Amino acid sequence: MIGALLREARPKQWAKNVLVLAAPGAAGVLDNGSSLGRALLAFVAFCLASSGTYYWNDIHDVEADRQHPTKCRRPIASGAVPLGIARTVGTLLLVAGLGTAFALGWRTGLVVTGYVALTTLYSTLLKHVAVVDLVAVSAGFVLRAIAGAVVTDVRMSNWFVLCTSAGSLFIVTGKRYAELREMGDNAATRATLDEYTPDFLRTVLNVAVGATLLTYCMWAFDTKELSGSTWPFYELSIVPMLTALLRYTLIIEQGHGAAPEEIFAADRWLQGLGVLWAVVFGLGVYVG
């Protein structure tokens, strides 16, 4: 039972919550013990809250999941976690996540509350509306980034927000595109998939990846100007970012990407590019 409860919490998905560290990391405040501690607690709050929303999403979708070729193996759908226990654990996780967030300040609490509200609305309504579902999931990523800025009291530039928004849309659309290609005639097992076409999702992918690259470049140039640095680290960070975007686009076109967290965990080139980007951008923050 313990193993099933942990699987239902989807710890692999907690990697998404690393976005909480994006704004304070870019601002160079993570070397401050207080800021680092608050950012890590915000990360924990999102892990708890997101796991709670996963529980309630699967409770709500239990019958549909039982008809899905892979989701039928989820703990709640398979019966490994009884519905009564799932409701109790899901509620406790939500309360713990929100409690941790409000302990960090009312603004952080409101952001996490907004995330829970958005995710709940998505599970019950928005995921049934084509295009709106893409925007809703993307907004969840953006709220993670906002929480990191709020909890450490750092300023987010407009270009940072736009880059995060476009990048999130790129990842979410890539997931839908891969799912559509993977499911084929069974696409109707996920809400809205039967309304999408490969050409439409490919168009959105092209727009999103272009917007991500453009806004990242503008953010890098803007950050360089504000820092007053004479070193070209921020500009050089565009190279691994561009390469990673193109690499991930190729992976999506090859029919993968339905589980982004598994792609990032398995593709050594993406991992290497991520490390290279972090090193180059970090040099801009702490050396430049």
Q: How far apart are CA 217 and CA 224, in angstroms?
A: 11
CATH of domain 1-156: 1.10.357.140
pLDDT, tens digit, 9 for 90 and up, residues 131-163: 999 999 999 999 999 999 999 999 888 999 999
pTM given for the model = 0.88
| Domain boundaries of the chain, sorted by first residue | 1-156, 162-288
User: At which residue do the structure tokens 């696409």 appear?
Assistant: 187
Taking 70 as the threshold, does the pLDDT of residue 188 lie above it? Answer: no
Q: How far apart are CA 163 and CA 161, in angstroms?
A: 5
Helices 106-124 and 33-60 pack at an angle, to 10 degrees, of 20
pLDDT, tens digit, 9 for 90 and up, residues 4-24: 787 888 888 888 999 999 999
